[in-house]
């Protein structure tokens, strides 16, 4: 029997998603679990899988359309099945519909003649004059980005022209070659804010304006860690190489076991100490950054942590994310070690209690017993929510972390 | 350039062509002794004689039938029907013979026939004498239908019609015989099947013909006061249609209003609108508006009659609607 696939809710604050592209075309065979479409959420592009087996009977949503979660996006039917789309959609729009396919008896109950009600398709139609459509198409503008001022909100020529003049396309740069010291005039570019950029913006504003944070910087002796990593990597294949970050993730996770206030969230009147230690790792992607999550990192081996991080990082950098990859972190690490930074601070990833900003491991002069020696040091700065924890506790955590980073065999 | 009435312009055309070609003659009810119901042929009988200016019985089928026969026989008749409303009596001759003989006999004979007839409402002549059924005649392949809107066009088109070897249905409008306009003296030939831009504009294309040309020009002048620039295109010939200037204009303005005096349903406006939709769909920025007569038999009562007929204000309002 025919089933409807809906726009899934892929995150706790996801309200809508954009159907970026259809992977399974209409008429194509599909097995439960096969990828149906690419969907862009606030955070990432995610592949949506079919929950049913059959053929893709119909796409209900055009590509690049943004729709609320729960909106029907496709119909999966049996081969050759005669699908009454209206009745099916009507059934789907019932608020108390069963989540699993209804039993035969329910579907056999003949419904009264279905009303003409095209949920999901009516509101996709954008009223625009043929000329407005043509101008918009020629200019590569989405009609959805233009507001219509014609009768009943119809988009007409003047609306498209206004849109074009309000946001001029970057024109070809003209270079002056008249003088030897020709100066190229720069042009301001107006870049639309992506969903991800907007989501980062919202979260960071919330964090920076509502969380009273403080920072503590600690300098770790990582000579042993670096040596041990070199030794461990010596006989490993390329894809199995461990990064410094893998060690840090494990070390932080173990240290957090003794500092539950730093593996916590604040909610209304309560502080929630999380039962699991899920370490988020900030990963730079094309249009912003995402936090990939190693769940229960304190219980996983370095190998496992390394494998998970490289797999997930590969996915998010390719723009394909499983929702699980980016949800549920309880503490976040932002590691800029690869950029040769001396020290930096990070903004807390709400609703978490703290974030650790890890700088580069650097060779540096060390004073020991009155002698100047050469050693390896790595600075890390914790930013913590003062509503949940205090300076002394965070400082103790940072010192406790040193026992793992400076005695890395504890991580094995 | 002389400023003369539509009546005088038509009269000049007939006179000049009868002077030019002995084969041209006129026949119809009251065209001779009386000088024409609308005084178009005053003085013709005295000058050209009763052989070439023939009064007929009140028998429209006979008038058109005889004209067809004489045209087949080598003459160039200009038959006058007192009003277009009486053309229905001669319908079989007009649509089954005049429109088809050339085709059905494989082009063996020519039919150099002109049927002149005034139509239109607004003179309190009642429902049966006030019609504008132009579209009906334009429906038939084989007939050329000409309907001028200015004195100069009337003269130039009628002269071309008389010289044409095809059957031509020449529609005048009874209410505009007194309308004046500049008409070049002497020879004036305007090709049949060519529409004309009577006024240039940028914002909206008003397509019209016959009596509605002057109405549309008045509407355009009013709209100009509100900074709306209307282009007025006069069809002049309903068949064959000359669409090129209309499509070109529409591609420039993206908005169109079609003004005609006849009824809206199955009318000239319907045809022009459909052609624009077919040929310039991507240039359409608003639904095309048709200004036409209310769908009632035209009332006798003067006020009601004027309410039923399309007015300048209707054109102005239609333009504002398409530009909304």
pLDDT band at A182 (very low <50, low <70, confident <90, very high): low
- What is the helix (H) or strand (E) element at residue A177, kind and residue range? none
By C-alpha distance, the chain B residue nearest A133 is B282
Instruction: Please provide residue A256's backbone torsions phi and psi, each rounded to the nearest 5 degrees.
Output: -65, -25
At A122 the pLDDT is 42
CA-based nearest residue in chain B for residue A136: B282
Return residue ranges of chain A for CATH 3.30.559.10.
196-411
Which of A99-108, A266-275, B95-104, B214-223 is the least confident region?
A99-108
pLDDT greater than 60 at residue A113: no
Higher pLDDT, B45 or A173: B45
Pick from B109, B98, B107: which is nearest to B142 by CA? B98
| Mean pLDDT lowest among A284-293, B251-260, B304-313 | A284-293
- Angstrom distance (rounded) from CA B176 to CA B118: 10
Higher pLDDT, B185 or B154: B154
Of B60, B231, B261, B271, the active-site residue reads: B60
Q: How many CB atoms lie within 10 A of CB A202?
A: 12
Give B-chain residues touching A128 at CB under 8 angstroms: none
| Helix or strand (DSSP H, E) at B254 | none
Rg (CA), chain A: 27
Tokens for A169, please give them.
């396309």
Distance between CA atoms of residues B56 and B80, nearest Å: 10
Instruction: Give the containing element (helix H, strand E) for A185.
Output: none
Model pLDDT for residues B156-186, shown as the tens digit of each residue = 999 999 999 999 999 999 999 999 999 988 7
Average pLDDT, chain B: 96
Strand partners, A331: A279
Q: Do B196-322 and B2-183 have the same topology in CATH?
A: yes
Strand B114-119 with B168-173, pairing? parallel
Which is the CATH superfamily of the domain at A196-411? Chloramphenicol acetyltransferase-like domain (3.30.559.10)
Chain A residues touching B282 at Cβ < 8 A: 130-131, 133-134
> What is the mean pLDDT of the segment spanning A126-148?
88
Cβ atoms B224, B202 nearer than 8 A: no
**To the nearest whole percent, how much of chain B has pLDDT over 90?**
98
Neighbouring residues of A180: CB distance < 8 A, sequence distance ≥ 6: none
pLDDT higher than 80, residue B283: yes
User: What integer pLDDT is reported at residue A101 of this predicted model?
Assistant: 43
Cβ pair B212, B180 in contact under 8 A: no
Dihedral of the alpha carbons of B239, B244, B248, B254, in degrees to the nearest 10: 30
Is residue B255 part of the annotated active site? The answer reads: no
For residue B277, the chain A residue with the least C-alpha distance is: A130
* Residue entry with tokens 């002794």: B33
Q: Give domain B196-322's CATH number out of 3.40.50.920, 3.40.50.720, 3.90.1640.10, 3.40.50.1820.
A: 3.40.50.920
Q: Which CATH class is domain A126-166?
A: few secondary structures
What is this structure's pTM?
A: 0.53
Where residue A38 falls (left for φ over 0; alpha for ψ -120 to 50; beta otherwise) is beta
CB B49 within 8 A of CB B195: no
Long-range interactions of A150-154: CB distance < 8 A, separation 24+: A150/B286, A150/B324, A151/B286, A151/B324, A152/A127, A153/A127, A154/A127, A154/A128, A154/A129, A154/B286
Question: What's the CATH architecture for A3-121?
Answer: Beta Barrel (2.40)
Touching check for A32 and chain B: CB below 8 Å? no
Domain at B2-183, CATH homologous superfamily: Thiamin diphosphate (ThDP)-binding fold, Pyr/PP domains (3.40.50.970)
pLDDT of B227: 96
pLDDT given at position A118: 38
- The residues spanned by each domain of chain B are 2-183, 196-322
- Say what the pLDDT of residue A399 is: 96
What is the β-pairing status of strands A72-77 and A3-6? antiparallel
**Pairs from A314-321 (Cβ < 8 Å, separation ≥ 24):** A316/A44, A316/A283, A316/A285, A316/A290, A316/A292, A317/A283, A317/A285, A317/A286, A319/A44, A319/A45, A319/A285, A319/A286, A320/A38, A320/A44, A320/A45, A320/A46, A320/A47, A321/A43, A321/A44, A321/A45, A321/A46, A321/A290
DSSP-based three-state secondary structure for A406: coil
- The CA-atom distances, in angstroms, between A322 and each of A47, A51, A290, A307 are 7, 16, 12, 16
In total, the C-beta contacts within 8 angstroms joining chain A to chain B are 27
Q: Residue A213 has what pLDDT?
A: 94
- B204: which strand partners? B230
Average of per-residue pLDDT across A198-216: 90
**Cβ contact (<8 Å) for A157 and B254?**
yes
Across chain B, which distance is largest between two alpha carbons, in Å? 59
């Amino acid at each position: 029997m025919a089933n409807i696939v809906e726009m899934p809710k892929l995150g706790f604050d996801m309200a809508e998603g954009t159907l970026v592209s259809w992977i399974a075309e209409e008429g194509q065979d599909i097995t439960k679990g096969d990828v149906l479409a690419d969907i862009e959420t606030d955070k990432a592009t995610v592949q949506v899988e079919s929950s049913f087996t059959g053929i893709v009977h119909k796409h209900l949503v055009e590509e690049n359309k943004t729709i609320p979660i729960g909106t029907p996006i496709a119909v999966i039917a049996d081969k050759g099945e005669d699908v009454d789309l209206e009745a099916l959609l009507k059934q789907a729009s019932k608020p108390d519909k069963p989540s699993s396919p209804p039993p035969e008896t329910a579907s056999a109950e003949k419904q009264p003649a279905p009303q003409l009600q095209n949920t999901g398709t009516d509101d996709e139609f954008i009223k625009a004059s043929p000329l407005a459509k043509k101008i918009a198409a020629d200019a590569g503008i989405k009609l959805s980005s233009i507001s219509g001022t014609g009768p009943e909100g119809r988009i007409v020529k003047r609306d498209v022209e206004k849109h074009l003049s309000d946001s001029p396309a970057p024109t070809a740069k003209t270079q002056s070659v008249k003088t030897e010291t020709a100066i190229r005039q720069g042009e301001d570019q107006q870049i639309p804010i992506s969903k991800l950029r907007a989501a980062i913006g919202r979260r960071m504003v919330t964090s920076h304006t509502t969380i009273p944070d403080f920072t503590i910087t600690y300098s770790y002796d990582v000579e042993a860690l670096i040596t041990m990593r070199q030794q461990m990597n010596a006989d490993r294949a390329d894809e199995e190489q461990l990064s410094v970050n893998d060690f840090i993730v494990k070390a932080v996770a173990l240290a957090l076991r003794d500092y539950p206030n730093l593996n916590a969230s604040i909610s209304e009147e309560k502080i929630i100490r999380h039962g699991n230690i899920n370490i988020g790792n900030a990963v730079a992607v094309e249009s912003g950054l995402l936090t990939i999550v190693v769940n229960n990192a304190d219980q996983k081996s370095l190998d496992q942590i390394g494998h998970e991080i490289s797999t997930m990082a590969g996915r998010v950098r390719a723009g394909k994310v499983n929702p699980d990859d980016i949800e549920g972190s309880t503490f976040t690490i932002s590691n800029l070690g690869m950029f040769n930074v001396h020290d930096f601070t990070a903004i807390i990833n709400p609703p978490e209690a703290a974030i650790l900003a890890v700088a580069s491991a650097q060779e540096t002069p060390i004073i020991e017993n009155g002698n100047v020696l050469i050693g390896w040091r790595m600075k890390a700065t914790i930013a913590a929510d003062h509503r949940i924890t205090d300076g002394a506790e965070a400082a103790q955590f940072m010192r406790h972390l040193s026992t793992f980073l400076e005695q890395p065999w504890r991580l094995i | 350039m002389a400023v003369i009435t539509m009546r005088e312009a038509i009269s000049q055309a007939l006179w000049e062509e009868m002077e030019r070609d002995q084969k041209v003659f006129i026949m119809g009810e009251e065209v001779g002794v009386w000088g024409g119901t609308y005084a178009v042929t005053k003085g013709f009988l005295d000058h050209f004689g009763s052989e070439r200016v023939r009064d007929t019985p009140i028998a429209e089928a006979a008038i058109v039938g005889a004209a067809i026969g004489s045209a087949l026989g080598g003459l160039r008749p200009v038959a006058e029907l007192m009003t277009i409303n009486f053309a229905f009596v001669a319908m079989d001759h007009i649509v089954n013979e005049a429109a088809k003989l050339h085709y059905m006999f494989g082009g063996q004979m020519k039919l150099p026939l002109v049927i002149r007839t005034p139509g239109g409402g607004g003179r309190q002549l009642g429902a049966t004498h006030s019609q504008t059924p132009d579209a009906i005649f334009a429906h038939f392949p084989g007939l050329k239908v000409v309907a001028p809107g200015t004195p100069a066009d009337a003269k130039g088109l009628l002269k071309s019609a008389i010289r044409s070897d095809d059957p031509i249905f020449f529609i005048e409008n009874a209410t505009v015989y007194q309308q004046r306009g500049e008409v070049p003296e002497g020879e004036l030939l305007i090709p049949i099947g060519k529409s004309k831009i009577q006024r240039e504009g940028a914002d909206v294309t008003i397509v019209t013909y016959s009596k509605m040309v002057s109405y549309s020009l008045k509407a355009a002048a009013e709209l100009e006061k509100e900074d709306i620039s209307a282009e007025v295109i006069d069809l002049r010939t309903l068949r064959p249609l000359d669409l090129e200037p209309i499509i070109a204009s529409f591609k420039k303005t993206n908005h169109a209003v079609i003004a005609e005096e006849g009824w809206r349903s199955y009318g000239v406006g319907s045809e022009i609108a459909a052609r624009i939709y077919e040929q310039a769909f991507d240039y359409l920025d608003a639904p095309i508006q048709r200004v036409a007569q209310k769908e009632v038999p035209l009332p006798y009562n003067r006020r009601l009659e004027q309410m039923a007929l399309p007015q300048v204000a209707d054109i102005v309002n239609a333009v504002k609607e398409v530009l909304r």
